[in-house]
């Protein structure tokens, strides 16, 4: 005949059945169990740290430092003397578009990241767990913001080396950097949405590279508006890359005006209104 003896301790019950003893936690004995109590802030912190560590392992921060150097050398050296003949300080003229191209390049990484999380099932896994809806998107945007800050810092260092200077004080220099990061955030939200809807990170990056290069080359960032044929000048002058480059150029030297800032503010608000809801929907939709 088997007998069972129970010994009570504050946190443990020892049940002796025959010659065997089974340890049973006290919480189980009284019918209690731990319930998850997730914090959105903690979830964001953990997911952002995970993404940043992945970026370090894939050398994405190293690429964020190298990319502005390639843009600086590739555009400044071939056109420097041509622009000097026109009386243009090309380092001062070129620096905004180098920064904007570097910011656009980081958005391609955002698209690759969201596409990879989608095809590996990580996004679907997040939807089955008690994770607040916008947290995965916010964590990707936060890590992308860090990558943009690194790339912006590197671009300014290279710009200083070729002769670029801020002449309008700290406030306008800070606004220069702020506009660059706003531009990066807008593009990253749109790229994240495209990546979340894509089935191939490689195809996504290739699809995004071409329009960004076209908008960069057909802008007033590399050459004055007068350097383009008359029939395409309205597009070149009014597209967002040109408008951002106008404002950033004035912020660095000469002082910005409301006339220059107004189109930039409108473009920023328009891109955010379109890209932010689209990115959230693409990130939270169930396949």
244 is a domain residue: yes
**pLDDT confidence of 209, banded at 50, 70, 90?**
confident
Judge contact between 205 and 199, C-beta under 8 A: no
Closest Cα partner for 79 from 89, 69, 64?
89
266 is a domain residue: yes
Return the residue matching tokens 């306008």. Answer: 172
Instruction: Find all residues with CB under 8 Å of 114, minimum gap 6, and list them.
Output: 123, 140, 191, 192, 193, 195, 196, 282, 283
pLDDT score of 108: 86
Range of lowest pLDDT (12-16, 61-65, 221-225, 260-264)? 12-16
190: its two tokens: 């749109």
Distances (CA, A) of 228 to 217, 224, 236, 247: 11, 8, 8, 20
184 is a domain residue: yes
Other residues' Cβ atoms within 10 Å of the Cβ of residue 124: 12
79, burial (CB in 10 Å: exposed 0-12, middle 13-18, buried 19+): middle
Q: Report the number of distinct structural domains present in the chain.
A: 1
Q: What is the dihedral of CA 168, 169, 170, 171, to 10 degrees?
A: -60
Higher pLDDT, 1 or 188: 188
Residue 197 CA to residue 172 CA, distance in Å, equals: 38
**pLDDT confidence of 25, banded at 50, 70, 90?**
low
212 is a domain residue: yes
Whether residue 71 is predicted with pLDDT greater than 80 in this model: the reply is yes
Judge contact between 72 and 143, C-beta under 8 A: no
DSSP string, 107-155: HHHHHHHHHHHHHTTHHHHHHTTT--TTHHHHHHHHHHHHHHHHHHHHH
DSSP strand pairing (20-25 vs 4-8): unpaired
The parent domain of residue 259 ranges over 40-284
Most confident of 100-109, 115-124, 147-156, 193-202: 147-156
Q: What is the dihedral of CA 91, 96, 97, 103, to 10 degrees?
A: 130
Number of helices (H) and strands (E) in the chain: give both, helices first: 11, 3
Return the residue matching tokens 């480059």. Answer: 245
Distances (CA, A) of 142 to 44, 59, 101, 125, 209: 9, 17, 19, 20, 22
232 is a domain residue: yes
Other residues' Cβ atoms within 10 Å of the Cβ of residue 233: 14
24 bridge partner residues:
13
pLDDT score of 238: 92
Percent of the chain residues topping a pLDDT of 90: 44
Residues 201, 66, 56, 135, CA torsion sign: negative
Q: Once rounded to an integer, what is the mean pLDDT over residues 149-161?
A: 94
20 is a domain residue: no
Whether residue 226 is predicted with pLDDT greater than 60 in this model: the reply is yes
pLDDT score of 279: 92
Range of lowest pLDDT (22-36, 92-106, 152-166, 183-197)? 22-36
pLDDT score of 9: 47
- Count of residues in the chain: 287
26 is a domain residue: no
pLDDT score of 36: 60
7 is a domain residue: no
pLDDT score of 87: 79
């Amino acid at each position: 005949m088997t007998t069972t003896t129970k010994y009570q301790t504050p946190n443990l019950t020892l049940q002796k059945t025959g010659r065997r003893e089974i340890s049973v936690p006290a919480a189980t004995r009284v019918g209690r169990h731990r319930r998850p109590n997730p914090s959105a802030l903690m979830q964001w912190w953990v997911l952002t740290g995970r993404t940043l560590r992945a970026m370090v392992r894939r050398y994405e921060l190293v690429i964020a430092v190298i990319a502005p150097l390639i843009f600086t050398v590739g555009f400044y050296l071939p056109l420097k003397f041509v622009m000097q003949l026109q009386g243009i300080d090309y380092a001062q003229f070129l620096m905004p578009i180098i920064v904007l191209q570097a910011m656009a390049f980081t958005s391609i990484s955002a698209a690759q990241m969201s596409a990879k999380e989608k095809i590996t099932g990580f996004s679907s896994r997040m939807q089955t767990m008690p994770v607040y809806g916008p947290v995965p998107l916010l964590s990707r945007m936060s890590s992308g913001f860090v990558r943009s800050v690194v790339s912006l810092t590197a671009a300014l260092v290279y710009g200083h080396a070729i002769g670029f200077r801020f002449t309008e004080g700290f406030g306008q220099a800070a606004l220069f950097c702020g506009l660059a990061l706003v531009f990066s955030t807008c593009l990253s939200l749109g790229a994240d949405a495209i990546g979340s809807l894509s089935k191939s990170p490689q195809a996504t990056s290739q699809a995004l590279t071409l329009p960004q290069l076209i908008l960069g080359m057909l802008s007033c960032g590399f050459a004055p508006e007068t350097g383009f044929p008359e029939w395409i000048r309205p597009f070149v002058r009014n597209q967002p890359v040109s408008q951002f480059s106008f404002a950033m150029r004035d912020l660095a030297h000469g002082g910005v005006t409301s006339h220059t800032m107004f189109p930039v503010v409108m473009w920023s608000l328009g891109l955010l209104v379109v890209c932010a809801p689209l990115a959230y929907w693409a990130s939270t939709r169930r396949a």
